[in-house]
Structure 1
Amino acid sequence: MDKEIVSILQILLNNTLITADRLQEESNSSKRQINYRIDKINDMLKSKNVPLIYLKTDKDTVVRKETKNAIKEILENNYSKNTYYFSKSERLLYMYLMLFINLGDISINHFIDSLKVSRSTVNLDFKDLIPYLSEKGIEVKNNRINGYYLNGSEIEIRRVLIKKIIETLANENSSRVLDIFIEEYKLEQFEEAKKVILKLVEKYQITFVEDRLTEFIYIFIFIKARMHSDDLNNSECEDIPNVKAMSSMKEYMFSKELLEVYDNKENIKSYNVMYISAWILGISVGNYEEDTEDRAAISEIVNKIMKKFGYLSGVYYVSQEKIFKQIYAHFRPAYYRLLFKLPVYNPICEKVKEEYRLVYKIVSNAMKDFGDLFGEEIQDEEISYLTMHFATIFSNKKNFYDFKKRVAVIACSNGVGSSAILYKELTNLFSDLHFLPPMELSEVKKLNKDIDIIFTTNYNSEGLEIDVPVIKVSPVMTAKEKYNITREVYIQLGDIFLRQPKIDEVIGIIKKYAKITSESMLSSELLAYFTQIENFKSNEGDGPMLSEITNERLIKLKVKAKDWEDAIRQSASALVEDNKVTKEYVDAMVNTAKESGPYIVITKHVALPHARPEAGAKDISIGIATLENPVEFGNDENDPVKYVFCLSAIDNSSHLRAMSELVELLENEEFFRVLDNAKDPKEIINFIKKYEV
């Protein structure tokens, strides 16, 4: 059975409703290829005596429960080790593992024999592997003594290994390539390592979620093999940080004893204990209630991030403490990932950037100040996870709990803090379901109360051992995904929701009597309308642009200010005169600046004063002022201030589009040249409008 058929089987397993068009889209296959593979699949299903798959182009086909059970069985019996063929990505991982564990004297023939491929295939694979590693500062060298070996920063060499294993386990949904390597090179078997690790996990009360534990065991097996290599010397590991606060933590004690199982105490290097400790911390969830040595330092950073985001977005936190703990829970592990350059796998990164683009822009800008702490720019993957947390602030829908409703649970398996936004999305989407708080897959099994439906980001219903519908969802859903999931949920629960119109049929009717200028836009709006989706993306585009919330009357040039307070009051006076805010709002801006100190200066030479909407905001607006003489605001890094942007926001979201545009403008040097040289406010307005086109 080829991998394309396996891919189709997995899509069918994860969907109750499917069309031929959707299957083509998800598998990136042609209509002819889909028909051929479905025929092959039906041939396999016939022997199981279950309903077959009959696809229609624009009509839903229901994949029955008994058919899904047969598909699971087929997938479980898919491959034997003797007939397994590596994909290209698996070959590249296998080659890297050979280099990583420092086998010594590896020749081209070793790669050919291990991979069971031709010399030309190995050479072609090397042509892909070498440039990829070169981008990470890692060289693949070759000499007569050592053969092929890795050369470069040890922390980068380990980062690549961890990233590749995490991606393989996530994307291939199989550990087979790792198991084959372990068996061939006689490394410690997975189950043996698991027994040792679980014993220490219980002793030190280390919390691993299921997928992260599997990753940890595999990665530990390979890193341990490298640690024990005779060719690895201490000088190559000098770039691994030494964080004193970690030595008192349970994760450090766990790591130290884990290594002692396999080596004498005197042979264990402190940097290896530190590295494994950081790795455990990097895949854990931070708990502010836990009094750890790092709590004060990480809390300070989290507070700074929240204040920076607050000033850039013009947002005021309704429940400051709750949001702080939520951000802390995510940022503590992120702190150690960033410090030790540990990779984070975020398969929904691009989706977050698209669905929450305005929030992402502001979070990205807010995090620029913190890159210096870690010696490199913060990765998009980390920023997108933070974006998901901040995006929950903009969901204003209240949750009403009715314990007579059918009970739903969100089961997370990857341990990443994405459940908060998913919980918001699903509770908004299914108001007639009572959602229990998100939990790990293992916790679902322990529930005493009845559950009617389970939502999970990782389809693993056989592991749950609960006979209820399991719906696979993405942590961040598009309007189309929400529509499809809504229909599937109501099919599973036997509701009358199926009478809801189907998008393709509605568009077909409209085409008969009207000209459609944009079928994709119409489809998107119908999706949102029919599911009554209250998603943040639909609200993002609804807010006014920057040019629509400022005007020539709100711009003041060459203001003569004696100090920072005078600069704010003079700049904000235009908002009062234009009836955008009250005088009390200006007083509140000054008081807020006094309380928040230097955070009002959001970047070099730019201050962004604002106050809570209830302080006297009448309309969304931004006043722009340039100062004749720069003024000190008390921010050592960004003073003196030359430009003051006074914001009036009437809520926490309607101004976000304009603020996102402003954040982009503040990265444009030409904008500042226009501000410096403008003789008429109209020049600034024209530049903003031109920039928005």
Structure 2
Amino acid sequence: MLTDNEDNIINFLLNSNSFVTAKEIANQFLMSTKTVYRTIKHLNSLTPSGELINSKKGRGFKINYDNYLKEMNYQQDSNTFTAKDRQQATLTKLLMIAPRSLKLSSLFSQYYLSETNINEDLKSIRSQLASYSLNLVRKNHQLKITGSETNIRHALQDILIKQNVSNTSLSEKGGLNFYSLQFCIKQLNFINEKLDSEITYPYNVNIISHIYILITRYQTHAVAKSVLTKLNSYDQMIIKENKQLYSIAAEVIKHIENYLDMALEPNEIYFLLQYLISSRLDVMDKIENSAFQSNLVQKVTNFYISNVVAKLNLGTINNDFKADLANHIRPMINRLYNKISLNNALLPEIKRVYLKLFKVIEHTSDKLTKELGLPPISADESGFITIYFARYLEQNRQYIRALVVCTTGVATAQLIKVKIQSYFNNIIVVADAASSNVQQQIHKYAPIELIISTIPLNNTFEIPVVVVGALLTNQDKKRIEDSIKRNYHFQGSEKMLSEVTNESLIRLNIEAVNWKDAIRKSANPLVKNGYATENYVNGMIKTTEESGPYIVISKGVALPHARPELGAKKIGITVTTLKTPINFGNKSNDPVQFIFALCAVDNKSHLKAMSELVNFISDQNFLKSLVKETRPANVYTLIKKFESRYSENE
């Protein structure tokens, strides 16, 4: 696990386009330059694939992105059993049967540890338990954990999710019982049927893990009678305001009693209810005055908005966004007060792409806990809120990426560039071009949304072109303004999945001989329809060869992609189903049946579509429907249908 300094430096360099000096890094994170050098040296020593961070005398440091991707994949695929793994396994065993005890020998004999190493493990375990107000007791060569049942479950919930989350689901790895896990999934499906809607990631994982822990605690006879917190008048009010959800929770608890053949504590219904309330459910949007609603939700929502607006110098935030954010804040507050953790699998990517915004949100979360007396807000929760603001900022961005074209592409272009950027605050000139290399520059600096040229062009680029004079007179400025009004409404750069795929990019029941053939056949429509070059497809295969099968992002689903400069022309996603599933070399998620080949021209415009895609592939109903389809038109209709559903749920 990386230290905070190591993590901060990596994220900072990932967000830098050029070399950064040690002094700049030191100033950013309030550390000495000596610490920067020492930390980077240590990071490089941890990288089996080579230097993680490159250095150049007089210029500073820059991330080696190829090695970074290899290292991330190495960490995901490594089967090395570390001291931390050993400690987590020991902690989980003790928590599952707490407050009963286990012999030291049964816990540690398999590891052949010295007494010193055992004491180090126990010290680490005690430290982790302290954050949950739990104690580790060692007596007569035995160990046990003492504390409240609620705190024991909170600790188990956090550990279970961190150990077993594989993208968007729980798996049998990490020692989970297959039959119990299947029963838990069956209960989630029952809840979905009762609600007539789908509980999506990450809420589905939370509910499954809660039920799994509940079952295991009773199976090990660790739950004594009357150890659960008794309900107070406030709890009774919650039940009264959520009669439908309480009724569903009661049915699930009855199913569990039948499964275990024993009676459970009545309060188990209420605890499951809290997990349902803490999920983003359609039914919750209809409740006007449930717990924490109105005043606190509005206070927290406005607090985030006012702080982000002030920090980033934004204008007025519209009411639709406020309502959308409030609908996320409502279950979040419930999670905070009931100590329900939410895992955010996208957190590393959020920090990489939106580091500055994430820092603002994280700082605001800290202020909230102090000024409004809220429980601590985790980085995972701050990450989810960051996504809301990032999407809003992208959808409402007020600039256009422009290319300036002149006969020479040098002096005149620079003059026009300066004049444009001083006059238009909604245009960014990303590059200039001579008339002979316009197409090349369009590909290199994609996406280009406006071409401003001093010479007439044979416009085959599907991009608006404005012809102006070399001195950029007022008349020229008017022509540019008119073109912007005609062609742009500042609807944002992020596109929905239905906007970046179409019937020509959908291929069904394809036969492939191996994973390379599967990628090539899936990506071929991108080349055929002008989205990418053949070199881009070769890049997909080469990246997978070098970095391993990390593109298999969940059970049966692969997402091949390559770097934009290898030949991406415009954003697009293909949808491919394989007649015979293919092994890609990812033990956890093979064989692959669904391939979504991504062509991205930058690191932002595809995020909305990708966010939708993550929701879709975590929805078994979508994948089951997809595998049945034989016509591309039906698949496109299916995407629109699920897109509408998730848009309504957001």
TM-score range, shorter chain: 0.3 to 0.5
Rg: which structure is higher? 1
TM-score by length of 1: 0.45
